[in-house]
Chain A
Amino acid sequence: MRALRVVTGIGVLAIFGVSSRVLAGLIGVNHLIGAILVGAVIANTVGIPEYIEPGVNTHKLWLEAGIILIGAGIVLEEVFSAGPFVLLLVLSVIVGTLVVAEFLAGLLGVKPKLGSLLASGTSVCGVSAVVSVAGGIDANESQIAYASATILLFDALTIFLYPAIGHLLGLSDFVFGVWSGLTMFSTGPVTAAGFSYSAKAGEWATLTKLTRNASIGIVTLLYVLVYSHFRTTTDSGYTSGRGGHITRLWTDFPKFFIGFIVMIFLGNTVLSTTTIQTLDNASNWLFLIAFVGLGLDLRLENLRSAGMIPILVVFLTLILFSSLVLALLLATA
C-alpha cells in the first residue's frame, strides 16, 4: 500500500516535471526554475493530497542521484587547477560565516542555541546542517523550526535572485558557480541556481557546495564540544551527542558525496564520452523531478514562522559574505 503511494507520488513529480519543462520552453524560462515555480505554485494554491506525500518526499533522493551522475562530466584537470584556491575559499567562508553569524546573533540578542542553528545553516548546508547541529546541542523543536524557516526563506529568494544577479553582472560560469556554491545555503537551491545559469556553472556550484557539505560532521562535532565544555545551558540543556565523536562524524557525513567522488574518477578514467552524455541526460531528468519536489516544499506557511531578528542575522551574514566572495572572485578569477 505504501509502495503504491510512493510510486504514485513519483509519477506525479514526473508528470509535473515534464509539464513544467514544456511550459518553461513556451514562456522562455529555464526549465529548472520553471519546475520549482510550478511546484511552489501548486503547493501554495491547490496543494497536494496527503496520499502522494511519501512519493513526493523522495525528491531529495533524485537530487542526490542527479548530483552523483553529474560527477562523471567533471574534468579533473580543471578541478586540480582551481582546487586549492576553491578549497581555501570554502574553509575561509565556513569559518568566517560561523564566526560572523554567531557574533551577530549574540549582538542582536538571539538565544545561543538558535544563533548556533542559524550560523550552522548559513555556513554549511542549510536545513541539513540545522538538523544535524540541533541533534548535537539538543536544541528544541521550536528552535529547529524557527531556524529552518529562516534558512528556507533565503533558499526560496536566492534560487531566483542569484541567477538574475549573475546575468546582470555578466559573471563567468566559474565565478557564478563558485559564488553560489560558497554563499547560498541548501544543496537543492544551489544546484538549481547553478544549472539554470549554465551546465559548467552548475558543475562548479555543486562541486563547491559538496565540499562545504563535507564539513557538516566537523562543524556539528565542534558545536557539541563547545556546548558541552564552554557554554552554559540557559535555554534547554545540552548533550554530548549520540555515540562517540568518530560515530558522529560518520553519521553526519553526506554519503552521496562518496558516490560523487567515485563518479568523477569513473568519468575521468573508464566511461566513454557517449556514456557520460547519457549520464548527463539522466541527471537532467532527475533534477527536473527533484526540483518540482523542491518547489512543492516551498510552502508559505512554513516560511511565516521565521522571526525578524533571525532573518536580520542571516540577511546581514549573507550580504557580507556574498559581496566579499564575489568581489574576491572577480578580482582573482
Chain B
Amino acid sequence: MGRNYETFFELSLDMLSVSDMRGVIRDVNKAWLTVTGWTKSEVVGKSMYEFFHPDDIPMVEKNMIGVTSGKPIRNVEIRYRHKNGHYLWLNCSGTPSLDTGEIFAVVQDITKQRELESELRRRETFLTTLIDNLPVALFCQDGSDNLKIVHWNKMAEEIWGVPKRDALGKPSSELFERFHERLQEADLALLQRGEPVELAEEPVDSGNRGIIYLQTKKVPVRDEVGKPRYLLGISEDITDRKKLEIERAKAFQQARMASLGEMASGIGHEINNPLAVVHGSAAHLKTLIEKGGAEPDRLVSLCEKIENTSMRIAKIVKGLRALAREGSEDPLRPVPVVSLVEETMELCRARFAFENIKLNVSEIPNDLMVDCRAAQIPQVLLNLLSNSYDAVVTAKERWVRVVVKDRNGVIEFAVEDSGAGIPVEARGRLMKPFYTTKDAGKGTGLGLTISKGIAESHGGRLYADFEAPFTRFVMELPKSHGGRS
C-alpha cells in the first residue's frame, strides 16, 4: 500500500479490517481497535471466529462460502466480543480480492441502533399485550385512509364478534354498519374537530353476549404537525354496572317503602284516635242539638274540639305525605327546623309510647332555619329514630332523644339512645350499602346509606359519634341565613 492509502486506512472513521479467506486477521485500523478495545498485537494473526458470538458463527460461515469465488459480503450483522467481555453489534461488508487472497472489510458499530430497536420491540410487545388485555374494547382507525381499522384488541373481538384478522384493514363503517348509520361522517367530523368525545351509552346486540350496554369514548390522535391521524375508540361494556344500578335503585326504593310501612301501622293509631274524637264529638253535638236547650258554650267547645282535632289529623297526614315523596329533585328552601322535627315526631310518637320508650326533643328556637328539601330531612330523622327504636326496644333502660343545636352556622341534629351501642367491628361499615346488624328480614342495610346521601346532597354530613357515652348519630346541615326568618 502506498503511503497515502496507509494514512487513509489508519485515519478512516469507519472500522476497516483485512483478513485472509479463512478469516485470519491480517490488519485492522485505529477505528477498529478503538471500538473493540483490543490492541493490534492481540488480534492480528488470530481467527475472527474467536471473537464472534458462538450463535452467529453458522451464519457467518454461510456468508463466507461465496468469498473464495469473489462474491462480496454485504451488511452482515454479527455480535463481536469487546475486550472487556461484552458483545458489540457490528455491520460488516467485505470484498474479497482473489489476487491477494484477502478480504477487505468495512465495519460499522451498530450496537446503539440494535439496542434502540430491541427496546422499541419490547415496548411494542408491552403495549400490544397491554392493549389486548384491557378489559375494554379498543380499536383504532386510520384517519388518512378511509378510517380503516389498524388496531383491534381482544375485547373488541369479543364484543363485536369479529376476529382481529377480519377487522384489520376494513373501514369501520363496514364493521359497525349494523349498529350505526352514517357512522363514517360522524367519525370524520369528530376527527376534524380534534376533541375527545364521550358518546351516550347504547345498547348493542353483541353476537356472543346478547344485548349489552356500551359506553364509548372516541379520541382523535394528531400527528406531529397537528394533522388528525388516528381515531381511537374505547368501548366499555357497562351492562353489569347498569344492571347493578337498576337493582340498587330498586332496593333503595324498597327500603324507603319498608320504613314507611313500618311507620304506617303506628300512624293508623295516630289518626284513628283523633278521628274517634272528631266522630264522637260530632255525635255528641248532634244529640245536644236534637235535645235542645244546651248551653251555647258547651256547643262551641265541642266544635272547637272538632276543629283542633281535625287539624291534628291534617298535620299527621302532611308529615306522611312529605315522607312518601321521594323529593330528591325538589329545590332547597328555607324551612324551620322545629317543623321538620315536629313532623317527624308526629309519625313515631305512638310507636315509641306503646313500647314505653321515653322520647324527648330538646327545645328548638322557632327562628332556626335550614335550607333543605323538606320531604327528605324527615326521612333521615325517621330513619335514625327507627334505628334507635330497634336498638332500645329490647333494652332495660329505654330512652331516645333528639337534640338540636346551632353550632356556628351548622345545625346539628343528634339522635341519641340508650341502646347497647355500635359494635367496634361494625363501625367502619355502618354507612355502607346493604350492611346491617339487624336480624335477618328486619333491616335492609340501606337506611344509613340513603340518609348519608341525603345529608351530603344538602351540603351536610351524617356520622356516628363514637365519643359519646351513649349511641349517638349526628346529622349536620348548613344553617339558612335567607328565607322567611
The answer to whether A and B interact is: no
